[in-house]
Amino acid sequence: MRQQHLAGEKAFIDYCGPTVGVVDRHTGEIRSAQIFVGVLGASSYTYAEATWTQSLPDWIASHQRMLRFFGGVPALLVPDNLKAAVTRASRYAPKINATYAELAAHYGTAVLPAKDYEYAEWRHAKPGIDYHVEVDGRFYNVPHAPVGQVLDLRVNACVEDIDYRHPRGLEKSRMAALAGCDWIRQALNLCITGPTGCGKTWLACALGNQACRQGLSVRYLRLPTLFEQLRIAHGDGSWPRLMNQLLKMDLLILDDWGIQKITAAQRQDLMEVIEDRHGRRSTLIASQLPIEHWHEYIGEATLADAILDRLLHGAHRLELRGESMRKLAASLTDRDRSA
């Protein structure tokens, strides 16, 4: 997505994912250094430096050196939601670390934390002469100007917009119970299965969105992405930090479970993640692979037994069925374009 930035308006700040190894020339010991990066939005003018930690003292000192390097102060500092910057992440009312807020006040700038990614789908629709546009059977007001035009609409995933009209096996009473998020507070798991296109990812993200709105922490990852992050973490020494980050999430959503074969190393990593969270945090699995085939997918019998026992014991299950929602949406699009 391309964004437009004004000169001097924003500086985007974060640490790189990969660390850099620094070798002690006397002992040969290799120590990992964190890479701090600040980028001005309009010009992409970049400052980077290595520090030993991502702690608050290093975070503040790096900002001071970055601002001296830029030769000025942007109107807004836009950090990621790391603890040194944001003590409580929120899409609407984040709580800024007190020391970081003092730094911003000293330099006459403000802190605007980056917002977490919110899942959404794009749809096409044409407003009618009554200034309403129909999306998934619901009507929304639009200005007069775009009447008659085909519009691109961004539809967020939220539990209020769950479509019960199509026979997918969803019950309103059960979804209302899941939307209460008590299962997350009780550290129970949820498995959503069904054929391609039936809305597994959308439902998972809608429940994740609902959990965020209730003050719970949520992280969404495709399972292949998780395996890649864990592989990198093994190599650069950030494994303990990544595992701790995953454990802190009240809800971990793992999408595309069973879409690719897994290796022995990935199987062991999966065991570590599930074992860490068992009985302490909730995990949501979204998969087009039926649960009865998960044991075969994991592969090694002993580990498969251990993983599935922790994952499925006492877990809620949603088994979706029916026609692809994407196909239904496409038919609506064709109707709008032919109107």
Band of pLDDT at residue 132, cut at 50, 70 and 90: low
Band of pLDDT at residue 209, cut at 50, 70 and 90: confident
* pTM score: 0.58
With tokens 């959308």, the residue in question is: 202
* Predicted pLDDT of residue 332: 45
Question: What is the average pLDDT score of the chain?
Answer: 84
How does pLDDT run across 69-122, given as a tens digit for each residue? 999 999 999 998 888 888 876 655 678 899 999 999 999 998 888 765 555 556
Domains by residue range for the chain, with CATH: 10-111 (3.30.420.10), 120-156 (no CATH), 159-319 (3.40.50.300)
Answer whether residue 138 shows pLDDT above 80: no
Answer whether residue 336 shows pLDDT above 50: no
Q: What is the mean pLDDT of residues 146-163?
A: 72
Between 134 and 188, where is the model more confident? 188
Cβ atoms within 10 Å of 309's Cβ, excluding its own: 11
How does pLDDT run across 155-170, given as a tens digit for each residue? 667 887 777 777 778 8
Share of the chain above pLDDT 70, in %: 83
Share of the chain above pLDDT 90, in %: 48
